[in-house]
Amino acid sequence: MKWNNSLAIGIEAIDNQHKQIFEHLLAIENSVAKRDPRHILRFLLSQLAEYMKFHLAVEEAMLEIVRYPQRAEHAQAHAKIMEQIAELEKQLQKTGSGADLVSFFEDWFIRHVLADDRQYAAYVREEFPALVGRS
Ligand SMILES: [Fe+2]
Ligand SMILES: [Fe+2]
């Protein structure tokens, strides 16, 4: 699916990164739907994994700086996301098909953004409004 405004958490830099992640997911969905050769899928997945690692590191660094009280739990949820991506890579490489797996991961990621990311965003907006950027 495509990113839309209902997914915004109100921190501009983070919303832009989430948009990028949805672009990666869309590319993977399209690739699965077109039954692209496996090396293409592998490449797209490695790009998603790399970008996700960058994004999660940014969030974790920010939460550390602002001393977000639930930062340890948030980092744990991120570790799970990376595990899920590794699992997705394994499954898709094995089967070459797996649109349902991609949408399963997507749902999961959306839930993280809407629940966990939104929760820290409320804290950051309240305590560190200068970090939020225009919105
Ligand atoms: Fe996030
Ligand atoms: Fe997060």
Quick check: 78 pLDDT over 90? yes
| Whole-angstrom distance, CA of residue 73 vs CA of residue 79 | 10
Residue-wise pLDDT tens digits, 26-37: 999 899 888 888
Range of the domain at 103: 10-130
* Number of separate domains in the chain: 1
pLDDT of residue 96: 64
Q: Which ligand is nearest to the CA of 63?
A: 2
4 in any annotated domain = no
Quick check: 80 pLDDT over 90? yes
pTM value is 0.91
Distance 133 CA to ligand 2 centre (A): 18
Average pLDDT for residues 63-92, to the nearest whole number? 94
Quick check: 135 pLDDT over 60? no
Quick check: 38 pLDDT over 80? yes
pLDDT of residue 134: 60
Q: Ion ligand 2 — residues with CB under 5 Å?
A: 59, 117
Q: Ion ligand 1 — residues with CB under 5 Å?
A: 117
Distance 97 CA to ligand 1 centre (A): 27
Query: In this structure, are residues 45 and 90 in contact, taking their beta carbons and an 8 Å threshold?
Result: no
63 in any annotated domain = yes
Query: In this structure, are residues 11 and 132 in contact, taking their beta carbons and an 8 Å threshold?
Result: yes
Structure tokens at 55: 């994004």
52 in any annotated domain = yes
Distance 57 CA to ligand 2 centre (A): 9
Of 92 and 12, the structure prediction assigns the larger pLDDT to 12
Quick check: 50 pLDDT over 70? yes
